[in-house]
A and B are shown apart, each in its own frame.
Chain A
Amino acid sequence: MHEKLKGKVKLGSTTNSTAGFIKTKSFGRVSMVAAVNVSRFEGVTMAPPDPILGVSEAFKADTDEKKLNLGVGAYEPKSYSLMCLMLLRRLAENLMLERGENKEYLPIEGLAAFNKVTAELLFGADNSVLKEQRVATVQGLSGTGSLRLAAALIERYFPGAKVLISSPTWEFPWSEYRYYDPKTVGLDFEGMIADIKAPGGSFILLHGCAHNPTGIDPTPEQWEKIADVIQEKNHIPFFDVAYQGFASGSLDNDASSVRLFATRGMELLVAQIGAMNVVCSSSDLAARCCEVAVIQVKSQLKRLARPMYSNPPVHGARIVANVVGNPALFDEWKAEMEMMAGRIKNVRQKLFDSLSAKDKSGKDWSFILRQIGMFSFTGLNKAQSDNMTNKWHVYMTKDGRISLAGLSLAKCEYLADAIIDSYHNVS
């Protein structure tokens, strides 16, 4: 460091100090010796690249024309549907400009219109939890921000409580319950039930639909059994709903797991893209207490949000409120969701057909059709995933997850070749 700073530091009078860098400065009184240019953060090392975003960076750096980005879960950039979504956004933005909407701070809990429509989307406008005002909803910074608020709430009010998450899940470092069965490339239901039976009074993180990263969801019957166990053990279910509408194409179908739990009168935490919801239970005896609980919980969520970002961003919330609140735009959006989910299903079919046709080993690839949503867990291990990238320029996460949203029908055959090669020729 001494070498680097030589040019910058005026070496002044000598001292026996071991600091090395000295600069004299007269302040009209007495010259003093002081250290310069010593960073307080000298020891800070490079953080490891993010396992998901790092994939996109590597993809960008690749110059091969065959390259495919199946890393991050975002819809294909130049697709027709994304263009339609952007048009929808523009329409909503024009509405906002016409109305002369300003850029004032939102309240800490966010845009009221947004909170209302987002809770209605999730639970259904006629759901008793909404009618009985048993839901505390706070606008959050997309899915991550909503989860972070929930995590902070749990940490503050349930210190020492366990949080169980599926294995694998989206980068949370807490206790795991079995979920993915590599032998069937499906759900390890027995393992999951066994693991969520212990210990009592824990938070169980569940993906509402289109599990990330596996694409494997419980069936309706399995959801009922999961709810039974959670109630029996007095756990609190904590849903992460990131893909409502995107999984099956139907907003209502994709919310059915959350609605099942809500109908049973269970208390829930639900993180959506953009909002954190806390559902408080009631009984005939405790209805009053529940209203109060909702207000109190909301106030604490606000108290956690204020020192993180003060209040949430207005633009996206207004777009959502305008789209969902305008029947014509809402219908258009629903049609778009159906089309996007439909496209993913077509891609899954094409990929399955290509794999079945090209792979002469007789391996059953039908799990691709059973999985749902944006992601597919291919069953490829790390070495095989590396081969996908290094040899075939297919970018994906090291756990074998591919994002089908980034795949076009035209590229399915190429991808099938890559998968077959990696699966059979690399161990």
Chain B
Amino acid sequence: MYWRYLTRAARRCSVHTTSSRTVGWWDHVAPAAKDPINGVTEAFLADPSPFKINLGVGAYRDDKGRPVVLQCVREAEAKIAGSEFLTKMVEESVKLVYGKDSDVVKEGRSAGVQALSGTGACRLFAEFQRRFHPESHIYFPDPTWSNHHNIWRDAQIPERTYHYYDPDSKSLDFAALMDDIKNAPDSSFFLFHPSAHNPTGVDPTEEQWREISYQFKVKGHFPFFDMAYQGFASGDLDKDAQAIRIFLEDEHLIGCAQSYAKSMGLYGHRVGCLSILCVDSKQAAAIRSQIQQIARAMYGSPPVHGILLVETILSDPNLKSLWIDEVKIMADRIQRKRTTLRQNLEKLGSSLNWEHITNQLGMFCFSGLTPYQVDRLAKEFHIYMTQDGRISMAGVTTGNVNYLANAIHEVTRSEQETAKILCSISV
């Protein structure tokens, strides 16, 4: 294929003078499509309006819309000044997600490695999956975090989807989900969000998780969990890991990506963990060595600062306790904002059903707004969110919630009119 470039290069050579300048090697490189999430932030930053709101990227903010550095993190920063690099972060992470008293932890049956936050952990797993199950696919919930598609595609694993979100009820389409699990070929790889599903905020109930786990045993499927919001969904770290604990009870040997971006506010430090559960510690050592080899070829070794912070916080009882409190405060605040937004919309007399705002969990609300409505919000009201109508509740403050509610009410007027007409017809 490069002969084509060479011919083109040769032609262009003739245009140049005797100067030794070379021809355009990169002419055939087309601009990449804008990332659907980062693109929103870029548009927001470019907007000069004083009223603008960023409801795009999921990064926590205080009530003045400012980024937050947790107190436990500040204290950890002071502690780690000049520290040697420790290796306890993986140990602590695994206890956090599986439970410190779980068998897998006690028996050393997890192959855990530090990863570049959730993205990095997913990518390591995808590469590992390709290496050892090259013919496999990955099943994603529909919808899922947009970058999941990129990650598994770049790891050359083809994707399939399973039913998840029901746009009519704005909740889980459980029957269709179970059908898809049963109809998938045996031993398929599935990705789950254990809590605070991104982008919908819709999670299975405990009972539903048990059914899913059971069906997985029947089909011999492999469950991979992307745990990006532990603690952030309900405010309770153990409760948010419940789905994983259920699978552990049923003795599945799962894979799990963890991220500290949201729960510890360490977004820019890129710190997370990938773990894969094994039959024994010997297998865990083998799998760990393979994942480390994949990581080495990608980036050598992980950035140390974030790892030190996580280690320090998780292994110091006082800091850990402070962290748990701070996570609960963040989760509660998000919950209150959900309530306020819904109440405001109802007070404005919106005839649409906004229950889903408070039913959904975690940082995101799948508003049900159409791409057209999302565009109007950006153009007319300087409110930015992803095209699928996902609102990052972290961007909502007491200062802007009225403005937001009014704007949503405005752009959904025609939908409300339609709803009223349909109601009057059916009566």
Instruction: Name the B residues within 8 Å of A68 (CB-CB).
Output: none
Closest to B15 in A: A285
A8 to B31, CA, bound (A): 55
CB distance A42 to B279 under 8 Å?
A: yes
Query: Which of B146-154, B315-323, B363-371 participates in binding chain A?
Result: B146-154
Q: Which of B276-307 contact A (CB under 8 A)?
A: 276, 278-280, 283, 285-287, 289-290, 292-293, 296-300, 303, 305-306
B300 in complex: contacting residue of A34, A43, A108, A142, CB < 8 Å = A142
Contact string, A1-17, partner B, CB cutoff 8 A, digits 1/0?
10011001100000000
Do the beta carbons of B28 and A157 come within 8 Å of each other? yes
Q: Separation in Å of the B224 CB from the closest CB of chain A?
A: 11
A46 touching B32 by the CB < 8 A rule?
Answer: no
Are the CB atoms of B251 and A8 closer together than 8 Å? yes
| Interface hits, A105-122 → B, CB 8 Å | 105-108
Cβ-defined contact, A39 with B15, below 8 A = no
A102 touches B69 (CB 8 A): yes
Q: How far does the alpha carbon of A45 sit from the alpha carbon of B28 in the complex, in Å?
A: 42
Residues on B with C-beta less than 8 A from A36 are 217, 250-251
Q: Which B1-37 residues have a C-beta within 8 angstroms of A?
A: 1-2, 5-6, 9, 13, 15-17, 19-33, 35
Please indicate the chain A residues that have their CB under 8 angstroms from the CB of B77 in the complex. Answer: 97
Report whether A158 and B2 are in contact in the complex, using a CB–CB cutoff of 8 Å: yes
Contact B69 A103 (CB under 8 A): yes
CB proximity of A306 to chain B, nearest CB, Å: 6
Taking a contact as CB atoms under 8 Å apart, the answer to whether A307 and B298 are in contact is: no
Contact pick for B21, options A5, A35, A283, CB 8 Å? A283
User: Could you say which of B16, B119, B303 contacts A141, with CB atoms under 8 Å apart?
Assistant: B303
Question: Do B300 and A47 touch across chains, with their CB atoms under 8 A apart?
Answer: no
**Interface 9-residue window, one of B88-96, B194-202, B264-272, B399-407:** B264-272
Q: CB of A310 within 8 A of chain B?
A: yes
Given A308-B154, A313-B303, A313-B306 in contact, is the A282-B133 Cβ separation under 8 Å?
no
Inter-chain contact A27/B24, CB cutoff 8 Å: no
Q: Are B296 and A144 in contact (CB under 8 A)?
A: yes
| CB–CB B305/A316 < 8 A | yes
**Cα(A72)–Cα(B318), bound, Å:** 37
Counting CB contacts under 8 A, is A420 at the interface?
A: no
Within 8 Å CB of A264, what residues of B?
A: 20-21
User: CA–CA, A4 to B67, complex, Å?
Assistant: 50
A144-B300, A286-B24, A315-B305 given; A304·B132 CB < 8 A: no
B253 within 8 A of A: yes
B299 touches A39 (CB 8 A): no
Majority secondary structure of chain A interface residues (helix, strand, loop or mixed): loop
CB-contacts of A286-338 with B (<8 A) = 286, 289-290, 293, 295-297, 299-300, 302-304, 306-316
**Bound CA–CA A47/B187 (angstroms):** 25
Contact: A39 with B278, CB < 8 Å?
yes
Interface centre among B30, B31, B120 (most CB of A within 10 A): B31
Size of the chain B interface, CB-CB below 8 angstroms: 88
Contacting residues of chain B (111-126) with chain A, CB-CB under 8 angstroms: 116-117, 119-120, 123
Q: Is A25 an interface residue (CB 8 A)?
A: yes
- Given A201-B2, A286-B24: A105 in contact with B123 (beta carbons within 8 A): no
In the complex, chain A residues whose CB is within 8 Å of the CB of B16: 283
**A302:B32 contact, CB within 8 angstroms:** yes
B48 at the interface (CB under 8 A from A): no
A161 interface residue (CB < 8 Å to B): yes
CB distance from B81 to the nearest CB of A (A): 7
Annotate A47-86 by CB proximity to B: 1 below 8 A, 0 otherwise. Answer: 1001001000000000000000000000000000000001
- Cα of A293 to Cα of B23 in the assembled complex, Å: 12
A309's partner among B6, B155, B210, B270 (CB-CB below 8 A) is B270
Say yes or no: A315-B119 contact (C-beta < 8 A), given A90-B82, A144-B296, A283-B16: no
A residues with CB within 8 A of B = 1, 4-5, 8-9, 23, 25, 27, 32, 34-47, 50, 53, 86, 90, 93, 97, 102-108, 141-145, 148, 152, 157-161, 200-201, 231, 234, 236, 264-267, 278, 280-283, 285-286, 289-290, 293, 295-297, 299-300, 302-304, 306-316
Listed by A's residue number, 7 A-B pairs whose Cβ atoms lie within 8 Å are: A1-B279, A160-B2, A266-B21, A282-B21, A299-B32, A303-B35, A309-B117
12 further interface pairs, Cβ-Cβ under 8 Å (given A40-B133, A105-B57): A1-B279, A23-B251, A32-B218, A44-B132, A44-B287, A47-B292, A97-B77, A105-B268, A143-B300, A144-B296, A307-B119, A309-B116
